[in-house]
Amino acid sequence: MDETLRSEGEGLHTEDMTISMGPQHPSTHGVLRFVIKTDGEVMREAIPDVGYLHRSIEKIGEKVTWHGYVPYTDRADYLAAMFANQGFCMAAERLGGVEVTRRGEFCRVIACELNRIASHLIAVGTFAQDIGAVTPFIHALRERETVNDLMEEICGARLTYNYIRIGGVGYDITPQTCDRITQFLDHFEPIVDEFNRLLSYNKIFIERLAHVAPITKEDAFQYNIVGPNLRACGVKWDIRRDIPYSVYPELEFDIPVGTGEKGTLGDCYDRYIVRILEMQESCKIVRQCLKMLPKGPAIAKVARKFKPPAGEIYVRVEAPRGDMGFYVVSDGSEYPYRVRIRTGSFTAMSLIDKLSRGLMVADLIALIASLDVDAPEIDR
């Protein structure tokens, strides 16, 4: 172990302390471990040690059929499973020349944006709890439970959905469910304002996060930071708008970015507030989709033994933790030849060591929470 020795007067020497945070620490958001070297409470480095949740789901993709792999994609990010469903199915559809039905596309967007709200509620709720505010977490969980109830109505599951299928969606969204979704939006939008009064604009919360661990635009580009963490740096980049897919080009929504109004551009507070604003934009998107929802089948006819022609494809979707990409290779058989998943949490982890230098140990908790890293996305 390489420890730094320092002289502190006659015959007195001090040295850095190396400590392990995790993998069972409640604030690491999963089975993650950080090897921290500190001088008292000030960190010199915090090196992520990943791999505790590795499940070989990319290798499994080569051993099951195209249809059979969809449930496994749920496990790529269990807080935002719908987006992994969509990414893989889009890759299979483009390889196989399958056209998704128009109603199926709208059902996908409704389900995904509801899932984005549920994921961000966990992000902002656990963020508050990690730094000592327990009450906001309970409020966030209460609203997320309502979203889970709606997802259960839509597809019969509350966490790992297996809803989006090759060619569309597994189940149509009924008019009764559409009405309940509208009722939820009418209830939830004022709740976001209430949550802001409770937490977002709380003086203690702002002072705890402002100026902490800012990410510059240059570092964001060099470390390939994506999603809300990138937009918090002031970069207006969103796959839904800039590399459009599904019916997003037909919808009107804003891309929230960090402004640094409470501290430094790209700091922990900016990363938090961008997610609050994104939930409001998701509400707008879902309302538009409910009004525009066309009639017709929710899924196209696809062969049970799906065999796309030989080729390769890379597909990207805007997941709650940013750009999620699926690189898929077909050799013309019933089984994918290669599946590779690119996630936002994995690249965000690479920046933690640089951001942690000079921070207090307690600020590492705020940093991890602000990046919203998710263990399944890191260990695939």
Domain extent listing, the chain: 57-378
Binned at pLDDT 50, 70 and 90, residue 120 comes out as very high
The more confident residue out of 25 and 346 is 346
Section 96-120 average pLDDT: 94
- Helices 102-130, 175-195: crossing angle, 10 deg rounding: 30
pLDDT at 309: 93
- What's the burial of 162, exposed, middle or buried (CB within 10 Å: 0-12/13-18/19+)? middle
pLDDT score for 246:
92
pLDDT of residue 339: 93
* Token digits of residue 101: 């039905």
Taking a C-beta distance cutoff of 8 angstroms, is the pair 67, 164 a contact? Answer: no
Give the pLDDT of residue 52.
Answer: 81
pLDDT category, 213, cuts 50, 70, 90? confident
According to the model, what pLDDT value does residue 106 have? 95
Average pLDDT score, the chain: 89
Amino acid at 107: C
At 112 the three-state DSSP class reads: helix
- What is residue 249's DSSP assignment? G
Q: What is the pLDDT of residues 177-204, one digit of tens each?
A: 999 999 999 999 999 999 999 899 999 9
CA–CA separation, 379 vs 214, rounded Å? 26
DSSP secondary structure code for residue 360 in this structure = B
95 pLDDT higher than 90: yes
What integer pLDDT is reported at residue 373 of this predicted model? 86
Least reliable range by pLDDT among 9-13, 193-197, 274-278: 9-13
pLDDT at 135 over 60: yes
Backbone angles phi, psi at 232, to 5 degrees: -65, -20
Q: Which CATH number fits domain 57-378: 1.10.645.10, 3.40.980.10, 3.30.70.1290, 3.40.710.10?
A: 1.10.645.10
Tell me what pLDDT residue 379 has.
81
Long-range Cβ contacts of 171-179 (<8 Å, 24+ apart):
171/298, 172/103, 172/107, 172/298, 173/107, 173/110, 173/111, 173/293, 173/298, 177/150, 177/153, 178/290, 178/293
Q: Model confidence at 83, in pLDDT bands (50, 70, 90)? A: very high
Report whether 60 contacts 72 (CB < 8 A): yes
- Angle, CA 85 vertex, CA 224 and CA 30 arms, to 5°: 60
Contact 170, 155 (CB under 8 A): yes
Bin 36: left if φ > 0, else alpha if -120 < ψ < 50, else beta.
Answer: beta
**Is residue 67 within a helix (H) or strand (E), and if so which, with residue range?**
helix 66-73
Give the pLDDT band (50/70/90) at residue 6.
low
Helix (H) / strand (E) element for 92: namely helix 81-96
Q: What is the pTM of this model?
A: 0.91
Tens digits of per-residue pLDDT, 136-148?
Answer: 999 999 999 999 9
Share of the chain above pLDDT 70, in %: 95
pLDDT band for position 273 (cuts 50, 70, 90): very high
Residue 245, CA atoms < 13 Å, CB-side half-sphere: 25
Read off the pLDDT band of 27 (50, 70, 90).
low
Question: Is the Cβ–Cβ distance between 228 and 215 less than 8 Å?
Answer: no
pLDDT above 90 for 15: no
pLDDT the model gives residue 261: 86
